[in-house]
Structure 1
Amino acid sequence: MKTAIIGGGVIGGGWAARFLLNGWNVAIYDPDPEAERKIGEVMDNARRALPGLYDTALPPEGTLRFTDDLGDAVGDADWVQESVPERLDIKHKVHAELTTLAPGRAVIGSSTSGFKPSELTEKGARVIVAHPFNPVYLLPLIELVGDTDHCAKAAEILRGIGMYPLHVRKEIDAHIADRFLEAVWREALWLVKDGIATTEEIDEAIRMGFGLRWAQMGLFETYRVAGGEAGMKHFMAQFGPCLTWPWTKLMDVPEFTDELVDLIAGQSDAQSGHLSIRELERLRDDNLVGILRGLKHSGAGAGGVVARHEAALPKADQPITLDRQVPQGWTDYNGHMNEMHYLEAGSKATDRFMEMVGADAAYIAQGLSYFTVENHVRYLDEVHAGDRLRAETRLLGGEGKKLHVFHTLYRGDGTLAATVESLLLHVDLATRRTCLPGEAVASALAQVAADQAGLPMPDGAGKVGR
């Protein structure tokens, strides 16, 4: 699959990274002589961040190339994404060329944050709104607005690269999310102008309070909880009257003077001017990965999108039970992977081995599983954030109630990093007592044992179950 990115700024570069790291070939058209450098820096951040969301390896990276020929960029593309400046005359010109040059099968999306599809297509262009959020390579939301069939095709592709397509029911200026953002932005400008709060204090109010609630529950579900056992009706009865009070200035805009710009820019510099934009981007990305991984565990919000995408990624066959990139959050003050995450990697490998022999989620839902009773870890070499980590698993014993496995962990370059040996017992989840595994699982374990019977005992094995 191939995508063409037209305009390689912050948003275009994020689109390119999202597609590229999901295995698509990417062609970029941008006359800016600095485009290759700028997009290269975005790619570096994306390669550092996106794989850290997953406990399964993403597909092999596609190819990336730059071209100064628009026809060459879009000629055989399956997806074309326009991210040129937010000027309708420029977009009309570009869309006319894309409609002529791109294949009929291609989705043509515009990253516009404000223009409606009727405005984009008023001169005959074949284009829909496909509005993303920065950083595109981490945040899954894409607002789709336009032709129903075109949007449906776009949605299918977007889900395949781990995104969440939201088809906006009716076209409206600024779609859905940016209308909220503009309302919050207007009120924030007033709070700064009137001396109520600084830029830093406003940011703290968001990130220390409702921002955390919104990340997992959004607006209406948060307020449903706030209504207590009586729910949303009680909340609206209690707080509805305040909507008529003059709390906010959402319909008024402060005069955009040089003094206001200088005031906000000065406060912003004082708040975070000690960090470069690239440092702020990496901080943002590390925090987003941590938040998204937390949400993935519960399946809430954007974490559910990551979990579903991960479940659809291809998984390796035996004996490989782990193949992933080490996230930044697994490292410690020494700059390498912390000891507890070696055990976590071994645990993930055990989980995958259980799936391979039929002790999967469906089996556990039936009331049967394995409990770990002993582990032994050998730390043999350093592992760093961004390293590819692979585990190969040997079955040392699977008869009766016992499951004895030995995981050998390798870095992507083949260096032996660690071994994790684990002993587990099969358990009836209703009684919490040991029992024999189901017939299918026992048979699968016997087959693995037969397949591995001729292999020598792994170096370092035999430390548990003695």
Structure 2
Amino acid sequence: MADVRKVAIIGGGVIGAAWAARFLLNGIDVAVFDLDPEVERKTLEVIANARRAQIRLHGAALPAEGRLSFAASIEDAVEDADFIQESLPEREDLKQRVLCDIDAAMPAHAVIGSSTSGLLPSKLQSAMKRPDRLVVGHPFNPVYLLPLVEVCGGDQTSTETIEIASALYTKVGMKVLHVRHEIDGFIADRLLEAVWREALWLINDGIATASEIDDAIRFGAGLRWSFMGTFLTYRLAGGEAGMKHFLHQFGPSMEWPWTKLVGPKLTDELIETVSAQSDEQAAGIGLREYEALRDNCLVDVMHALERNDFASGAVAKAYREGLKGQEAVKLGSPCGDGLLLTGHTPVMPEWIDYNEHLTEWAYLKLFGDATDVVLAQIGAGPDYVASGFSFYTVETHIRHLGQARLGQKVEVRSRALGADGKRLQLFHEMTNLDSGAVIATAEHMLVHVDAKAERSAPAPAQIADAMQGLVAGQQHLAPPGGAGRSIAMPG
């Protein structure tokens, strides 16, 4: 795939703005076109939420952001774009007309991805002069966090176009589900539609409220769905005999008339009932506040799944691994003052205490992360730990000299004060980049260990030499203030 340097977003609503964020935060330039006079404000608000969520999910691994612009016309947006993501309302006639306009103005090598949630690509491309350049790229909200994207070609879509779109979506951290046969609603939305129709019947018939239906999902099957889906869940329900036993045991009940998969008529009365229940459920909490809460929960679930290298967590882990070398800030790189850059991050909401400052445990976390960067520099990173050896911290001394508040950027710079065959002494310095003040220092003593034997052990020659090299390379620096200090009451 040719390198995609610029993406044009045609349609800057909820989905279009989130697509803009997904591409922008992956270092790709983005041009947005939408007739809405508020498009710039709305897009920037979505990008701010996305930036916060992506930093929580991927931290310093993220590349430098691309450049964002707002175009005055479709032609201006797409004229030098390598890829165009169309995210217009779900009206076939509107999409067909605009796709023809895009086709006429875009470069010959460009590809169009349509965000349609259910319209058939063969119909969307029917009036285009270059129909082979259109493919469906159907995402899920929020696009900047949820990895799934359904890719579906039409009758005239080329294999090359599908490959280009799939490669781009994978590059920006998404999980491509190739829908090999056109079908209304594709795969995921057909499943969601079935649940949605049954939910509307439960409200229409007075069986349950919107809040109760959501509780039935989020406290039950929804937790399993986030990492196992339906079929794997039911396979486990079949016990040692697996899916065949499950189907024999529960199959007869599936023929009972429990569900009403044809949706109820959306009368004014039903619309008012659902809307009133939804307002009550929201309890006066605003849109952006709920979006931030949603994003926090998604990031936490994905982090938990990442620790198990499973489902969407495995996608996030693989994506971050692929970003190595592209980070906006190169951790482990030498600074002009002879120290190593080992930390660079805005202060996250979960790191704030009741005084609205960076809390104590967060300092230790950030200094611990800095130690990991140093260890990676001497060859004692994750692969070394997996081999059965590691460094354990046996003593830590942190001085709190200042404060950092929510959103302020902090940077950690580190040096090695000493090393021998088993031990490594590190000193970290944290600066609030907004104020320029040093807000904390940390001194760590680490011991090399045989993790399997659970005892200290001499470091192998290549690690020991790397430690000594790090110390020697920083010996010219003046002794840091606070090194070797201990806590004592004044005499």
| TM-score in same-fold range (> 0.5) | yes
Query: Which is further off, 259-268 or 326-335?
Result: 326-335
| Match in the other structure for 1:128 | 135
Distance in 1 separating the partners of 2:76 and 2:179: 32
- Following TM superposition, by how much is the alpha carbon of 1:441 offset from its aligned partner in structure 2, in angstroms? 1.1
What is the identity percentage for the equivalent residue pairs of Structure 1 and Structure 2? 49
Query: 1:220–1:421: structure 2 CA closer, same or farther, 3 Å change rule?
Result: farther
Q: Mark the CA change 1:227 to 1:398 in structure 2 (over 3 Å): closer, same or farther.
A: farther
Picking from 393, 401, 411, the partner of 1:372 is: 393
1:146-225 map, 5 Å? 146=153, 147=157, 148-225=159-236
Letter in 2 for 1:184: V
Matched, 1:84 2:105: no
* Match of residue 479, structure 2, among 442, 457, 466: 457
Write the distance in 1 (CA, Å) between the matches of 2:437 and 2:250.
61
The 1-side partners of 2:255 and 2:27 are apart by: 52
SS of equivalent residue, structure 1 residue 55 = helix
Match of 2:417 in 1: 396
Cα deviations by residue, 1:57-77 (Å, 9 ceiling, x for unpaired): 422222211111222211111
8 Å Cα contact 1:82-1:110 kept in structure 2 = yes
Which of 455, 460, 465 in structure 2 is aligned with 1:443? 465
**Aligned equivalent of 1:229, options 224, 232, 240:** 240
Structure 1 vs Structure 2 CA RMSD: 1.9
1:265 aligns with 2:272: no
SS at match of 1:215: helix
Query: Unpaired runs of 5+ in structure 1?
Result: none
1: CA distance between counterparts of 2:177 and 2:272?
37
Q: 1:425 maps to which residue? A: 447
Deviations 1:82-137 (A, max 9, x none): 01111111111111121221122222100000112212222233311011111111
Tell me the distance in 2 between the aligned counterparts of 1:240 and 1:383.
59
Distance 1:403 1:54 in 2: 28
Equivalent residue for 2:116?
A: 112
1:282 aligns with 2:282: no
Q: Using the alignment, how far apart are the partners of 2:236 and 2:140 within structure 1? A: 27
Q: CA deviation at 1:233?
A: 2.8
The 2-side partners of 1:344 and 1:228 are apart by: 41
Query: 1:378/1:192 Cα in 2 relative to 1: closer, same or farther (>3 Å)?
Result: same
1:187-209 CA-to-partner distances (Å, cap 9, x unmatched) read 10011111111000111111111
- State the 1:438 CA deviation: 1.6
Q: Does 1:322 align with 2:343?
A: yes
22-31 or 52-61, which moves further after superposition?
Answer: 52-61
The answer for the alignment partner of 1:346 in structure 2 is 367
Equivalent residues of 1:141, 1:166 under 8 A apart: yes
Select 1:303's aligned residue among 302, 310, 313: 313
Q: 1:244 to 1:141 in 2, by over 3 A?
A: same
Unpaired runs of at least 5, structure 2: 335-339, 487-491
Q: Supply the AA of the counterpart residue of 1:459.
A: G
**211-220 vs 105-114, greater mean Cα deviation:** 211-220
Query: What amino acid does structure 2 have at the position aligned with 1:42?
Result: V
Deviation at residue 160 of structure 1 after TM alignment: 2.1
Name whichever of 74-83 and 325-334 sits farther off: 325-334
Please report the TM-score for the alignment, with normalisation by the length of structure 2: 0.90
Larger RCO, structures 1/2 (Cα 8 Å, 6+ apart)? 1
Go from structure 1 to structure 2 and tell me whether the alpha carbon gap of 1:226 and 1:372 turns closer, same or farther (over 3 Å shift). farther
Q: TM-score, normalised by structure 1?
A: 0.95
CA distance in 1, matches of 2:89, 2:420: 65
The equivalent position to 1:56 in structure 2, one of 46, 54, 60, is 60
| Structure 1 SS opposite 2:235 | helix
Query: How many angstroms does 1:368 deviate by?
Result: 1.2
Distance 2:425 2:47 in 1: 41
Corresponding letter in the other structure for 2:100: A
* Alpha-carbon separation, structure 1, partners of 2:234 and 2:27: 40
Distance of 1:403 and 1:234 partners within structure 2: 57
The structural deviation recorded for 1:357 is 0.7
1:41 maps to what in 2? Answer: 45
Which secondary structure state, in structure 1, belongs to the residue aligned with residue 59 of structure 2?
Answer: coil
User: What secondary structure is seen at the aligned counterpart in 1 of 2:266?
Assistant: coil
- Structure 2 residue matching 1:56: 3-state secondary structure: helix
8 A contact 1:56–1:310 mirrored in 2: no
The secondary structure found in structure 1 opposite 2:142 is: coil
1:30 deviates by: 0.9
- Is the CA contact (8 Å cut-off) linking 1:421 and 1:463 kept in structure 2? no
Kindly state the Cα deviation for residue 328 of structure 1 after the two structures are TM-superposed.
Answer: 2.5
Q: Say how many residue pairs are matched.
A: 464
CA distance in 1, matches of 2:259, 2:355: 48
- Alpha carbons of structure 1 residues 289 and 347: separation in structure 2 relative to 1, 3 Å: same
Quote how far apart the aligned CAs of 1:213 are. 1.3
Partner of 2:151, secondary structure, is strand
